[in-house]
Chains A and B, each alone.
Chain A
Amino acid sequence: MTTTPPDLPEAAGRRLEEGAFTSALTVPDFAACLQMGLEPVGFVQGFCVMQWQWYGMGSPFGGLGRLGGLGVPYPGGTSGYSERWQCPHGFVSAEHRGWGQNYEQTWIEDAWRTGFTSAYQRMIEEASAAGAHGVVGVFDATEPLAGQNVLEFRVQGTAVSVSGGGLPADGRPWTTYLAGQRLAKLIEAGYAPVSIAASVASVRVWANCITSYLTDGTSPMWAGQGAGIEIEQTAKAGMAVRRIARENVRSQLGGDSLHGASMSASERELGEGDAELQCILRGNRVRRFKKFDPIPVPRPTVRLL
C-alpha cells in the first residue's frame, strides 16, 4: 500500500493505490517503454499556486509598487547582473529619459525557483508513494490563474518502474522530459537520465532615451542617424538573460551533462520604457553509464508522395 505524503491531496493516494495504471504516454511511447523494460505505474503530478508581483519584495521599487521608484535609477548592489546607460544629450526636458538600466531580477528568479521546485517535489512525492523508479515524459507549464496576479506552476509525467531495477543511490526517482524512442536512443548512446533541469532568468530593461527612441520607432535623426543600428541596451539584456539562464542550469548539473536543452525567451512590456526579458532553459541532466554503442547505420529513404 502506498503512503500519501501529507501535502498531497487525499484523492492522489487513492488514485495511486488502485488497480489500473494511468499514463500520459502516447501509444508509441508506451510501446517503446515496454520494450526497454519500463512499466508505467501511474500519472503523477505536482502543483504550486503562487502570488506573483512584478514589483514585489526584493524589487528595488519595493513592496508598495513602482510609485516610489519613478525617475530614480536603481543603485545596483544586488548579486546579479546590472548595467547602466547614460544619456549623451544632457538636459533636454523633464520627460527625457536621461538614464537607462538593465538589471537581473533575482527575486523573480528565486520566486520562480520556489514555485517550480515545489511542484516538482510534489510530483516526486507522488512517484515515490507509487513505488516508481523514475518519471518519464515530464512536461511543465507556468500559467496565470483566474486573472488574480496568480501563477500556477505544474509539473506532470508518467511514473515507471524498471523491471528488475532498483532506485538510484539517493533513493529518489530519476526524471526526464524524454519518453519512448528518444529515451531509448539516449540509453543506447550510453547515458542514463538523472533529473530534469530547468531555470529562469529575468532581466528588467529601463530604457534610456536612445533605446526608447529606437524601440518605439520615433527615432530622431540624432538617435540613429536614420540608418539601421543595434539597440545596444536591449541586445545586451537579451544576451545577459540567456547567459544567466545557462549559468543557473549549469549550477544544477554537478558533474553531469545536459541533453536536449531547449531555450525559450520572451519579452513582457510592463509599462512605457519598462520591459522584462525572461528566458527559460530546460533540459535533461544525464550521466554516462557505458561507452557509446553506435546505432546501426540508418537506411536512406525517400517518400513517394
Chain B
Amino acid sequence: MSDTPKDLPAEAGHRLEELEHGLFTSDLSVNEFLLIKEVGFHPLGFVMGSSIYHTGIQTRKWRTSQELTKLTGAMYEARELAMTRMEEEAAELGADGVVGVRLDVNYYEWGKDAAEFIAVGTAVKAEDGRSYLNKLGKPFTSDLSGQDFWTLMQTGHIPLGLVMGTCVYHIAHRGLGQTLGSAGQNVELPNFTQALYEARELAMTRMQDEANQLSATGIVGVRLEEKSHQWGSHTIEFLSLGTAVAKTSEQVTLEKPTTIISLDN
C-alpha cells in the first residue's frame, strides 16, 4: 500500500489504493479517452484536491485604486493548496500528469468569508515508460481536454503545468468633484484605465513567472477571468490561467486537415 500524504483524507488513500490495482476512474469522454490512448498515455484515475479557506478582510481606501495584497495572497494560496493536493493524489498513483484540470471556487451559506477551492482532473501515465514529470519533479497539470492534449503533442510540445497568476484590486469610488468636473462628457478616465490595466498585467506577469519557473517556452489557452466574488462591485479578482508548454521537437507532425462536408441534418 502506498503512503498517503498527511494532508489527504484517509478515504483518498483507500480509493487510490484500489486504483493502483488496475481499475481506473476518469471523467474523460470516450473520445478523449481514445485520443489520450492514441498519443501513448493511459488514464490512472480521477484525482482532486480541495481547500476551504477563510479569505479574510483588508481595508480599502474609498478614493484609491490599489491592489489588495492580502486578498491576492489568500486567493493564490488557496488555489495552490487545492492544486498541490491534487498533484499529491496523482503522484500517489505514479502519474506523469493530470489532464482536463478544472479549478473552481464555491461559496456556501455557512461561511460568509470562506470559500472552497477545488481542483479536479484525470491522472495519466505514459505507456512507453518515459517520465513526463516537470522540472519541479511533479506530474504535469493541464486544463487541456483529451482532444487538445492530442493536438498539442502533434505540434512538438508537451504540457508542463497549469499556471496561474492573480491580482485582487480595489477600484476607487469617484468623488463628487470628479463627477461634476466631467459632467455631461463622454471622456476617458485615465486613472481608471491605468489601474485596471496594471491589475491585469500583474496577474498575467505572475502567471508568466510560474511558467518561467518550469522553464516553459510558452503558455497556451490563456484565460483572463474577472470576478468580484463576495466583495462588492468595486473589488475585482483578475485571474489569469493557462497551460505552460515546452517545445520538445521542431517537427509539427499534424497533417494538413482534410475538408469535409457533413450530410447530417
Contacts and interface: CB of A to CB of B under 8 A. Distances in A.
B196 A26 contact: no
A27 B200 contact: no
Interface in B144-160: 144, 147-149, 151-152, 154-155
B182 A51 contact: yes
A45 B224 CA distance: 11
Interface in B123-166: 144, 147-149, 151-152, 154-155
Contact of A55 (B155, B184, B233): B184
Contacts of B148: 26-28
A28 B151 CA distance: 7
Contact of B221 (A25, A57, A146, A150): A25
B186 A11 contact: no
Contacts, number: 183
Interface in A17-66: 18-28, 30-31, 34-35, 40, 43, 45, 47-53, 55-57, 59, 62-65
B72 to A, nearest CB: 14
Given A20-B216, A25-B220, A298 B233 contact: no
A31 B189 contact: no
Q: Chain A interface secondary structure, helix, strand, loop or mixed?
A: mixed
Contacts of B205: 11, 14-15, 18
A49 B200 CA distance: 14
Contact residues on B (Cβ < 8 Å of other chain), bracket = 35 or more
A205 to B, nearest CB: 20
Given A56-B184, A299-B261, A145 B171 contact: yes
B92 to A, nearest CB: 28
A108 B205 CA distance: 35
A263 to B, nearest CB: 23
B217 A63 contact: no
Contacts of A229: none
A22 B223 CA distance: 10
B204 A22 contact: yes
A181 B257 contact: yes
Interface in B167-201: 171, 173-174, 182-190, 192-194, 196-198, 200-201
Nearest to A30: B220
Interface stretch (B22-30, B54-62, B207-215): B207-215
B200 A45 contact: yes
B242 A62 contact: no
Contacts of B234: 146
Interface string A258-299: 000000000000000000000000000000000000011111
B207 A22 contact: yes
A15 to B, nearest CB: 5
Nearest to B150: A27
A37 to B, nearest CB: 10
A169 B174 CA distance: 44
B258 interface: yes
A60 to B, nearest CB: 13
A37 B177 CA distance: 53
Contacts of B254: 31, 35
Interface stretch (A71-79, A111-119, A231-239, A247-255): A111-119
A70 interface: no
B256 interface: yes
22 contacts: A15-B205, A18-B212, A23-B220, A24-B221, A25-B220, A26-B220, A27-B148, A27-B149, A27-B151, A30-B221, A31-B155, A40-B220, A43-B222, A47-B200, A51-B187, A64-B184, A146-B234, A148-B173, A300-B262, A301-B263, A302-B264, A303-B262
7 smallest beta-carbon distances between A and B, as pairs: A63-B184, A111-B186, A11-B201, A27-B148, A49-B192, A298-B261, A21-B218
Interface of B: 144, 147-149, 151-152, 154-155, 171, 173-174, 182-190, 192-194, 196-198, 200-202, 204-205, 207-209, 211-212, 216-224, 233-234, 242, 244, 252, 254, 256-264
Given A19-B216, A24-B222, 19 more contacts: A9-B197, A11-B204, A20-B212, A20-B216, A22-B242, A24-B224, A27-B221, A30-B152, A30-B220, A31-B155, A34-B252, A35-B256, A50-B189, A51-B182, A53-B184, A57-B184, A59-B184, A148-B173, A150-B192
